[in-house]
Amino acid sequence: MTPVSSNAPRGQSSLRTVQVLGGGNAGSSAHVRSLAEGLVARGVRVTVCAPAEADHAYDFRGTGADHVSVPRSSDPAAVGRLRAVCADADLVHAHGLHASFRAALA
């Protein structure tokens, strides 16, 4: 994990986490929304990678997190998009078996 930078604005961490959802079922989506809300409140930059439908239903952006639409697919384009989003993350947290598999591929 990258150490916290002294260049971060006062009270804000330079840490960045990516939360990866598979299909975004109700339990995992609600959990990720709760995590995003708490992490953002603590100054952590959060990106949620989930299908667009999950963001529409759970409003990850409403927590202050970024949302990147990544379909529930293991095709090369989806994995490549996930890889690009995760490239500079300090922590990647995958929620569910399919999300874990895709995050490992990425």
Question: Each residue of 31-89: pLDDT tens digit?
Answer: 999 999 999 999 999 999 999 899 999 999 999 999 999 988 888 998 999 999 999 99
Q: State the Cα–Cα distance between residues 94 and 106, nearest whole angstrom.
A: 12
Higher pLDDT, 100 or 4: 100
Cα dihedral across residues 63, 69, 73, 79: positive or negative: negative
Length of the chain: 106
Can you give the residue ranges of every domain in the chain? 16-105
Using an 8 Å Cβ cutoff, are 76 and 102 in contact? no
Confidence label for 10 from pLDDT (cuts 50, 70 and 90)? low
Using an 8 Å Cβ cutoff, are 103 and 21 in contact? no
Q: Is 16-105 assigned to CATH 3.30.70.250? A: no
pLDDT at 24 (0 to 100): 60
Looking at residue 6, the DSSP 8-state letter turns out to be T
Helices 76-86 and 97-105, interaxial angle, to 10°?
80
pLDDT at 3 (0 to 100): 40
